Structure 1
Amino acid sequence: MLLVYTHKITPRLKYTFNHICKRILDVDVKYTSKVEDFIAHESIKMSYTKQALSSELFVRSHSLLFEQGLSDIDINVQSWEDTKGFFPTGEGSDLPYDIFAASFYLLSRYEEYLPHVRDEFGRFMAKESLAYTHRFLNQPIVDIWAYRLRDLLVKKFPKFKFKERRYNVRPVIDVPMAYFFKKKGLLRTIGGTLADIGRLRFRQLYQRYSVLMGFKRDPYDTFKWITTKQKQSKSKFVVLFLLGDYSTYDKNISPNKKEFVSLIKSVADYCEVGIKASYFALEDISILKKEKQKIESIINKDLCAIRHSFSKLNLPKSYRNLVELEIHNDYTMGYVDTLGFRAGTCTPFQFYDLDYEVQTPLQINPYQCMDFALLKYQSQLDKTEHLQKLIDQIKAVNGTFTPIFHNYTFSDSERWKGYRTLFNLILESEE
């Protein structure tokens, strides 16, 4: 057990140390403000305060973990070997940067509470982030810092044996529209037919009626392939279905249709099933509650996984709603158009509410790659190369790779050509 001496034990401090020490390094951690208890402790220990006590491992603390609320923080990001660091500690500290204060800044999404420019959907985008500006978005920097701390502890306490965690993959399949042609109802089918004719999309018109008459499989119906992959993989897939009402933003088929319900049940036999919350559920907890109840009535168990439409988050409200509805796993933390680590980590972490200064039960499962982010790379070789670099970064810290693909990504569409191969590359990376 690691004992941490500090002059003041705060919720922020416990939250951050628990993530770095317990979740990443898998070592139990306790805290004390009593010098005599610290001196008497015979296992690994460190001090996190303004002044070292004696010859223990010492990290001079920044004030961030002892503050409350938001403040205008001056951040100067500097190079640190092959990565970056901020909140310098000065002479005497065993680490040149306060990795705990810096980790809290990234994990709490402190910058997303501050004024920033949003896109047309009201999202915080990668270009607004500290990580993008200072070019460390492509690194799981919190995990890298944690391993540097571990290296120092190993040197200081060579008899202590750390556990080794294993790299793992947690694939997410997002299902905003289960079928492209099937089960849309008469009015939507007529509208689609007229649109095909008006835009001279005769190939699509032929495909539409081949599907509707049962001669061809719907292009978005890739669920047999997905469940086959699940049977072959040791990674547990998370499949998230959109059950919201039809709107400008959400165009799935009705969750009241028997075939759709049967599809969800059949997928739930093999994969973990959750919901893709509708666009309007983001702002209205009553809508979110109805969608939660709907999926629970279908799968006959409590909902444990959710993702918001368009990867949109309004902090802290979005996550407070999930806490209130007792939804325990979120998969929204990431960027739709950019590969990388939005919260600086590839280890699932708890949501910390900065307004209430409390750690919540909600586990945030950050994703590092969405299929749309790979579209910017023109060739299959480029896509594979960038994906492999991402995998290598996560493997280096034995983290969790959470990619998000859609059911239509695995279709025969020209746009998504080669994506089944990319998905296989991800699954094979765990072997």
Structure 2
Amino acid sequence: MKLLIYTPHITSRIEYTTALLFGTIGGLTVQCTKDKAAFINTTHCFKINYTAAPVCSLELWIQPHGLLEQEDIAQQQILVTQWKGMPVFFGTNGHLPFDLLAASFYLVSRYEEYLPNQQDAYGRYAHTNSLAYQHNFLQAPLVNQWVAATIAMLQQQQPLIRIPKPDFKFLPTYDIDIAYCYLHKPLIQNIGGFIKDLFTGRINKVLERAGVLLMGMKDPFVNYDFMDAMHEICNLHPVYFFLLAQKRKAYDKNISPNNKYMQQLIRWLHKKYITGIHPSWQSNNSHAVVQQEISLLQSITGKPVTHSRQHYIKMNLPETYSQLLQAGIQHDYSMGYGSINGFRASVATPFYWFNLAANMATPLLIHPFCYMEANSFFEQHYTAETAAKELQYYHDITKATGGTLITIFHNHFLTEQKEWQDWREMYRLFILNNFPRVKKYH
């Protein structure tokens, strides 16, 4: 169904925002026009008037705030109020009490991250800076909710025109930061680990390491068959991201990407699923290192590498995304926080990155995640039981808006080691309880 939008100023920001809100999220065919007469005389479609005053009776009038007509980046005056039980800002006097387009653009473009801000201990944009955190809507896909409420208003104006509800999707993703706990590591590293565990009294780890290395027991981090079984049973299509740092340094602790067993694992998973690069901590400010890691993954799989997620969610705008685009990445999955769960861009739908520095849309498709188990455990200090409720909440609120739920798990959280058994079971039950089984599970 068509949506006609009247605006005297068709800017790159307006074109981008209207396409995202009403096309990608709303499922409508969107057209912007400067022709006032054509707008007034057009019938049999939804109409939004994005100007300073009403122009006809059968329209939804959204009065512009002005942000989408600007080309620069400047500090914005923001006052958060309420509309239909939802927080809103950039208040104006239209049929909506705020500029939906400008507010959505501000959130999705991550406008606030281009402004001076405080970084966290890892040199990342601190979530405490964000409008969503400060006004308690970080846990909501607010843009999707705004769009749903706006489309309902359009539907009330023209009840004979039906709009299908968007379909909910679930995309499980995995970061393979440490592919093996003990196997395929240098001898000196295993000896050092053995001594450290011995002197710190972790006898269970001493015995576990010995069992794997000397007695052929299964490495506890090798849980790929468990994940694979869940995907098969529920017909899920995950994405795996591999850390391929050439040097073991700082937060880059995977085994060597040149190890034949590491490469065999990547090839095995690549046969069934999408695989992507997990750019190392060391690569963050080096295009050459990013390109080296991408080229290595490409040589292992024999296919172009187009999917990526930053290790430790270490990213800065616009530098990180510009670097990925230059390296041939088409899909990025880093839009979320590595310090708290929630909707960093306040949206639960993949969207194209708008580069504010260049004031233009780009072909890089951003897949926002809202839940990472490491945030639940390390940052929010949740038990597996509390984390299960949190994950279910994100499932339910995303499903209600017809968005895409993207989760992050790590293979070393899904082990059968005693300290992680509850987390493995939490994830297993979440998958089996929420997604239709296409195969029997025993």
TM tier, shorter chain?
Answer: over 0.9
Contact kept in structure 1, 2:234 and 2:435, CA below 8 Å: no
Name the amino acid aligned to 1:124. Y
Q: Could you tell me how far 1:214 is from its partner in structure 2?
A: 4.2
Q: Could you tell me how far 1:41 is from its partner in structure 2?
A: 2.0
Q: Could you tell me how far 1:221 is from its partner in structure 2?
A: 0.9
Counterpart pick for 2:409 among 396, 400, 405: 405
Measure the CA separation in 1 of the matches of 2:188 and 2:266: 24
Measure the CA separation in 2 of the matches of 1:215 and 1:226: 22
Measure the CA separation in 1 of the matches of 2:236 and 2:64: 39
SS at match of 1:361: strand
- Give the aligned partner of residue 269 of structure 1: 271
Counterpart pick for 1:304 among 303, 306, 310: 306
1:71 equivalent in alignment to 2:74: yes
Q: Could you tell me how far 1:57 is from its partner in structure 2?
A: 1.4
Counterpart pick for 1:48 among 43, 50, 54: 50
After superposing the two structures, state which structure 1 stretch, 104-113 or 375-384, moved more. 375-384
SS at match of 1:46: strand
Measure the CA separation in 1 of the matches of 2:73 and 2:304: 35
SS at match of 1:333: coil
1:383 equivalent in alignment to 2:392: no
Name the amino acid aligned to 1:365. H
Name the amino acid aligned to 2:363. P
- Give the aligned partner of residue 12 of structure 1: 13
After superposing the two structures, state which structure 1 stretch, 282-291 or 384-393, moved more. 384-393
Alignment RMSD: 1.5
- Give the aligned partner of residue 434 of structure 2: 429
Name the amino acid aligned to 1:256. N
Matches within 5 A, 1:133-144: 133-144=134-145
1:103 equivalent in alignment to 2:108: no
Contact kept in structure 1, 2:40 and 2:55, CA below 8 Å: no
Q: Could you tell me how far 1:117 is from its partner in structure 2?
A: 1.2
Give aligned-pair identity as a percent: 33
Measure the CA separation in 2 of the matches of 1:68 and 1:415: 52
SS at match of 1:49: coil
Q: Deviations over 1:286-316 (max 9, x none)?
A: 1111111111111121112111111111110
After superposing the two structures, state which structure 1 stretch, 40-49 or 271-280, moved more. 40-49
Q: Could you tell me how far 1:85 is from its partner in structure 2?
A: 0.5
Counterpart pick for 1:420 among 418, 424, 430: 424
Matches within 5 A, 1:226-305: 226-245=227-246, 246-305=248-307
1:83 equivalent in alignment to 2:97: no
Name the amino acid aligned to 1:52. P
SS at match of 2:62: strand
Contact kept in structure 2, 1:230 and 1:270, CA below 8 Å: no
Name the amino acid aligned to 1:46. I
Measure the CA separation in 2 of the matches of 1:275 and 1:401: 21
TM-score (norm 1): 0.96
Name the amino acid aligned to 2:387. K
1:64–1:414 distance in 2 versus 1, CA, 3 Å: farther
SS at match of 1:350: strand
Contact kept in structure 2, 1:384 and 1:422, CA below 8 Å: yes
After superposing the two structures, state which structure 1 stretch, 196-205 or 26-35, moved more. 196-205
Contact kept in structure 2, 1:173 and 1:239, CA below 8 Å: yes
SS at match of 1:208: helix
- Give the aligned partner of residue 359 of structure 1: 361
Matches within 5 A, 1:83-162: 83-90=86-93, 93-162=94-163
After superposing the two structures, state which structure 1 stretch, 382-391 or 175-184, moved more. 382-391
Measure the CA separation in 1 of the matches of 2:264 and 2:192: 26
SS at match of 1:39: helix
Q: Deviations over 1:333-392 (max 9, x none)?
A: 112232211100000111110011110111111110000222235444422222222211
TM-score (norm 2): 0.94
Contact kept in structure 2, 1:227 and 1:267, CA below 8 Å: no
Contact kept in structure 1, 2:40 and 2:56, CA below 8 Å: no
After superposing the two structures, state which structure 1 stretch, 352-361 or 124-133, moved more. 124-133
Q: Could you tell me how far 1:79 is from its partner in structure 2?
A: 2.1
Name the amino acid aligned to 1:144. Q
Measure the CA separation in 2 of the matches of 1:258 and 1:28: 49
SS at match of 2:95: coil
Contact kept in structure 2, 1:341 and 1:366, CA below 8 Å: yes
Measure the CA separation in 1 of the matches of 2:15 and 2:66: 14
- Give the aligned partner of residue 220 of structure 2: 219
SS at match of 2:82: strand
Contact kept in structure 1, 2:373 and 2:387, CA below 8 Å: no
Contact kept in structure 1, 2:385 and 2:426, CA below 8 Å: no
Q: Could you tell me how far 1:426 is from its partner in structure 2?
A: 4.0
SS at match of 1:170: strand
Q: Could you tell me how far 1:233 is from its partner in structure 2?
A: 2.4
Measure the CA separation in 2 of the matches of 1:370 and 1:409: 11
Measure the CA separation in 2 of the matches of 1:329 and 1:263: 22
Measure the CA separation in 1 of the matches of 2:127 and 2:235: 32
Q: Could you tell me how far 1:248 is from its partner in structure 2?
A: 1.8
Q: Deviations over 1:308-337 (max 9, x none)?
A: 111111110000011112211111111223
SS at match of 1:341: coil
